[in-house]
Structure 1
Amino acid sequence: MLHASEQRLAPIDVGQNVLMPIPCVDRPKIGPRNLMGVVTAVTDDFYSIGTQNGHLRQTFTRNQLAPCGAEFFSINSIRDGETSLRTAINTTALTTTQQENYTLKAGSCHAAEKIENRKTYGGNLLWEPSMQTFLFSATFYSGLIAAPLSGYVADRFGAKTLLLVALTDFILMTSVGPLLAKSSYWAFFISRIVMGFGEGAVFPCVNSIASKWFPPNERSTLAAIYTSGIQLSTGISSIICAFLCTTIWGWPSTFYSFAILGTLCLILCYIFANNHPKNNRWLGDEERTYLENSFETNGKHGQFKNANEMPWKEILFSREASAIYLASFSSNFSSIIASSFIPLFLKEQLGLSITQNGYYTPLAFVSQLISKNILGPVSDHLKRKGIISKTKAVRIFQTISCFGSSLMMLLICLVPTCETPQLAIPILFTYGFCFACLVPGYFTAMISIAPPCTGTISAIGNIFGNTGYILGPLILAFVSYMEFENKWLIVFAIPALTQFISGIYFMNFGSADVLQCIQVPEKIRTENYKQ
């Protein structure tokens, strides 16, 4: 029984479908749960609620995995393109000095064997380290320009169309990559700039869609699923690329293969992705009602009508948002060092062959895949049970991500040597496992604190993240130019320090609660019940 004073909208009649907050008496920290029921009796002061099987139940089906799957393949397509570039550079790009002579500071290692391993990389692209560095960061320059505009467009007009355009950009630039790389370095560089406009738009679009499809206590699981495309593409693609580079088709085949895969992703996104549950053709009325009433945002989980409605001050300057932006910078800074330069570190410092490199490199990404898909659901389970609050959950997991990955980045350049390269295996695996805790950490916070503005917040986060992406290659180029003796220690210590600082800040100010400027008191929402 519920008192009639709890009803705040239109009068309720028998037979109507009602979604209302039911408090968890035993665990009040988690707040009310939105449950679906049907009005079975009405009196002057009370009305009863039941369902066809006689009890309240939470409505949730796997139709929500349709947009989630489309987002997964979108991210997978992007990362495959990035892997193609790393493969082309790490396996075929040589400096003019390397073209004439292979050298290795092997110490007491078997120098001849290590030098022979170096020669397995081959290569005919005469690009100096500075040129290689600019290629690694080219997409991030244009991404800085595309991100803020794409986030606003996604929140204002819907994200699906913009997502399809971004994927098309990636497919076209990946397809022409080998031809441009062989003909002109600068033509290839410009194609990377063009590709960056698409990359800058993808995550704001994906996050904007996700925030409108998944209720708060399901978002860590959601983020784990659709960001798994990063690890699958980066990890598995490293093995695939290593194999393709040894075939008669060589490294260009990696570009063509991933362009074909990207086309498949584009088709899947066109069919399955939707801006909002109300636009989905496969969603049932009951689940649609549940989703449309599961957000504490005064019904504003669609697009804003004009820019003046956006709470710009809170989005830009609140402590909760700034914790997300700092985490985005530090995690992306650490990620670009790990994903782009650990293969180079394994090649130069540990003297691994291209085949060995292909097996070592994916370890961090495989462990990330395992970690996020275990800890994401665990985080959501703990929140639903009221064991920890949403904010405490994101703080705990982000702290593990920052401090754990920071420690492992220091160990990777201090412990293994060319005599004991196998010691890198547990370090790489642990690094990835800790790093992936950012998914139930700051990434969950990013799609939770302001659902109507998620695209914009993601875009601003992308600006900070792309700044980290740009600084990573530049730092390596600077350290290489200065010829510091402990080059790799310096390269890995800097992102380790930024991760540590970011972790301390997020531990104090990070949050997954909806910002007060958007949140309103819970309302009982009603809709005609359809048998």
Structure 2
Amino acid sequence: MVTTRRFSLEPSDKFKGKTIGYRHLQCLLISLGFSLLFAMRVNLSVAIVAMMDNKGSNPDFPQYNWSQQTKSHILSSFFCGYILVQIPAGGWARRFGGRLFLLLSVTVSSIFALITPLSVSWGGWALICALRFCQGLCQGVTLPTIATLMSKWAPIEERSALQTYCYSGAQLGIVAMLATSGVLCSSSWGWPSTFYLPGLLGLMWTGLWLVFGASTPRDCKHISAAERDMIEESLGHNQKNAEFTKTRAVPWKDIFTSKQFLVLIFNHCTNNWCFWTLLTQMPSYINSVLGKDIKSNALLSALPYITMLALSMACCPIVSWLEKSKLLNATVSRKIFNTISQWIPVVTLISLGYLRPDQGDLAIILLTVTVAINTLGHFGYAVNHLDLAPNFAGTLMGIVNCSSNVMGIIAPLVVGYIVTDTTNIYQWRIIFTIAGCMSFSGNFMFLIFGTAKQQPWNDPPRTVHEAEPLKSLSSDAEKGQEDRGELGKGDVILLE
């Protein structure tokens, strides 16, 4: 006998989840925690402008005469630590629960943010590189942990929308940090306040997460039984399956020989190249090429991410309705949104490199469109690891994020070596063209090989019970019928 159970990716016709439930509170807390982690990640992108040139900010704080190469090393150091724990983090979260690792990530990162200004005054750029490396190490568990949490909390019918709500915390953190950093740098607290504010808020968040956070609906004390059963029924989870998933070995060979997963990695890498090129270099571009001061620089740098956040929130209900109504199957939906998110930026990025310095308003519009439209990728490639193997979502996200965030190291370094004169628009043109080509190639491969079908290696191994030998069954049947006097010589036995 062969026993196996597969749970379809397609939404159930009988889905009756409440519009608002405890799973949404979990998403809200995850989103807020993620926003604070991103605020601690990007604060240096604006602060370093004031640290290297304090004319447009509070001049009472020290200025550091670092080269562009040194600046690139500082901005890249975070990602050197960030990629190291990505792959094991998924397994840790699966085994020990996502609640613990998200708590550690936010708490320790907050402490490092608070001591950053002191580390610069003590050890200069070398010590801040070391500190950012350690902060990256702590945040390396974040995305695999969120993926693991979502694989337990998000019903299939709400998967894209709930995960996008969580990931929108990144835009919220970027917006909040970039929008306020200019004012903070010019205030009496100076550029160190860009590190103090998110650090303190992060420690406050940990208190909320300790009270309300949970790794799974079954571990949650506050969720109603009806909502818990609805989530577990949608995902096919029960106590026995949950225990088996925790201890099951990761099918590494199947993962790394899956062309669908390899394409997902490639798509993540090309998208991250564009994302981190813009996120880390936009303040420098706006300051050097467009000639904006630190206050207007911060607000203009935040504008694309404000638009991105608004577009993300507006699209979530639409995508959720499309999935529940089955107007589009999952694979078609992923490819449509992925194409919009990655091929429109190809045009805007390359166009950006051909603008004159006096076309500042048009440059801001193109930057805003490039960054904002990229949010639709949350409904495309960004949720695809949950499609392929929800039982190993954290591990897949760890592998993908480890690979893709190598781009977070390489992209700023490439900018540092190509853009030797930050006022030279021709050097920036090379950077934008490279980013556009990356975006085009990533989606092209996803269109050909990408899929949202659940892969066979996600399921537990099939249990096969050997049938008894046919001859043995025949002799047993003959003997039984002879004992009852029902079988005569020459009679034929039919085995069902």
Question: TM-score range with shorter-chain normalisation?
Answer: 0.7 to 0.9
- 2:93 aligned with 1:93, yes or no? no
**Matching residue within 457, 462, 471 for 2:401:** 462
**Matching residue within 265, 276, 295 for 1:355:** 295
- 2:127 aligned with 1:197, yes or no? no
- Give the match for residue 264 of structure 2: 324
**Matching residue within 392, 414, 417 for 1:453:** 392
Could you say which structure has the larger radius of gyration?
2
Q: Deviations over 1:92-126 (max 9, x none)?
A: 225xxxxxxxxxxxxxxxxxxxxxxx942566022
- 2:451 aligned with 1:511, yes or no? yes
Q: Within 5 Å, which residues of 2 pair with 1:77-156?
A: 77-94=36-53, 119-120=55-56, 124-156=63-95
- Give the match for residue 318 of structure 2: 378
**Matching residue within 10, 13, 21 for 1:33:** 13
- Residues 275 and 371 in structure 2, CA contact (< 8 A), matched pair in contact too: no
- Give the match for residue 161 of structure 2: 221
- Give the match for residue 473 of structure 1: 412
Q: Post-superposition shift, 1:295?
A: 1.8
The DSSP-based 3-state class of the residue aligned with 1:517 is helix
User: d(CA) in 2 for partners of 1:411 and 1:248?
Assistant: 40
- Give the match for residue 247 of structure 2: 306
Higher mean alpha-carbon deviation, 467-476 vs 374-383, is at: 374-383
User: d(CA) in 2 for partners of 1:244 and 1:442?
Assistant: 36
Alpha-carbon distance change, 216 to 455 in structure 1, aligned in 2, over 3 angstroms: same
The DSSP-based 3-state class of the residue aligned with 1:33 is coil
Q: How many percent identity over aligned positions?
A: 22
**Matching residue within 171, 174, 177 for 2:113:** 174
Amino acid at match of 1:357: N
- Residues 297 and 452 in structure 1, CA contact (< 8 A), matched pair in contact too: no
Alpha-carbon distance change, 337 to 303 in structure 1, aligned in 2, over 3 angstroms: farther
**Matching residue within 330, 334, 337 for 1:394:** 334
User: d(CA) in 1 for partners of 2:174 and 2:27?
Assistant: 19
- Give the match for residue 498 of structure 1: 438
Q: Deviations over 1:465-514 (max 9, x none)?
A: 21110111110112035998721011111121111100011112222232
Q: Post-superposition shift, 1:73?
A: 1.6
Query: How does the TM-score come out when normalised to structure 1?
Result: 0.80
Structure 1: gaps of 5 or more residues: 1-7, 10-20, 24-28, 36-56, 95-117, 521-531
User: d(CA) in 1 for partners of 2:242 and 2:421?
Assistant: 51
Q: Deviations over 1:431-486 (max 9, x none)?
A: 12321111111112122321111110110011112111011111011203599872
Amino acid at match of 1:135: I
Q: Which has the higher strand share?
A: 1
Alpha-carbon distance change, 307 to 516 in structure 1, aligned in 2, over 3 angstroms: closer
- Residues 45 and 281 in structure 2, CA contact (< 8 A), matched pair in contact too: no
- Residues 60 and 287 in structure 1, CA contact (< 8 A), matched pair in contact too: no
The DSSP-based 3-state class of the residue aligned with 2:291 is coil
- Residues 31 and 168 in structure 2, CA contact (< 8 A), matched pair in contact too: yes
The DSSP-based 3-state class of the residue aligned with 1:131 is helix
User: d(CA) in 2 for partners of 1:245 and 1:463?
Assistant: 32
Q: Post-superposition shift, 1:307?
A: 5.1
Higher mean alpha-carbon deviation, 140-149 vs 480-489, is at: 480-489
Amino acid at match of 1:468: M
Alpha-carbon distance change, 234 to 273 in structure 1, aligned in 2, over 3 angstroms: same
Higher mean alpha-carbon deviation, 289-298 vs 257-266, is at: 289-298
Amino acid at match of 1:71: I
User: d(CA) in 2 for partners of 1:408 and 1:91?
Assistant: 29
Q: Post-superposition shift, 1:218?
A: 0.8
The DSSP-based 3-state class of the residue aligned with 1:126 is coil
Q: Deviations over 1:304-342 (max 9, x none)?
A: 34353x222332231221222112111211111111111
Q: Which has the higher helix share?
A: 2
- Residues 304 and 367 in structure 2, CA contact (< 8 A), matched pair in contact too: yes
* Count of residue pairs the alignment pairs up: 452
Q: Within 5 Å, which residues of 2 pair with 1:38-57?
A: 57=16
Query: How does the TM-score come out when normalised to structure 2?
Result: 0.85
- Residues 12 and 157 in structure 2, CA contact (< 8 A), matched pair in contact too: no
Alpha-carbon distance change, 60 to 353 in structure 1, aligned in 2, over 3 angstroms: closer
Q: Within 5 Å, which residues of 2 pair with 1:239-250?
A: 239-250=179-190
User: d(CA) in 1 for partners of 2:253 and 2:236?
Assistant: 20
User: d(CA) in 2 for partners of 1:317 and 1:143?
Assistant: 25
**Matching residue within 444, 463, 481 for 2:383:** 444
- Give the match for residue 21 of structure 2: 62
- Residues 90 and 396 in structure 2, CA contact (< 8 A), matched pair in contact too: yes
- Residues 274 and 439 in structure 2, CA contact (< 8 A), matched pair in contact too: yes
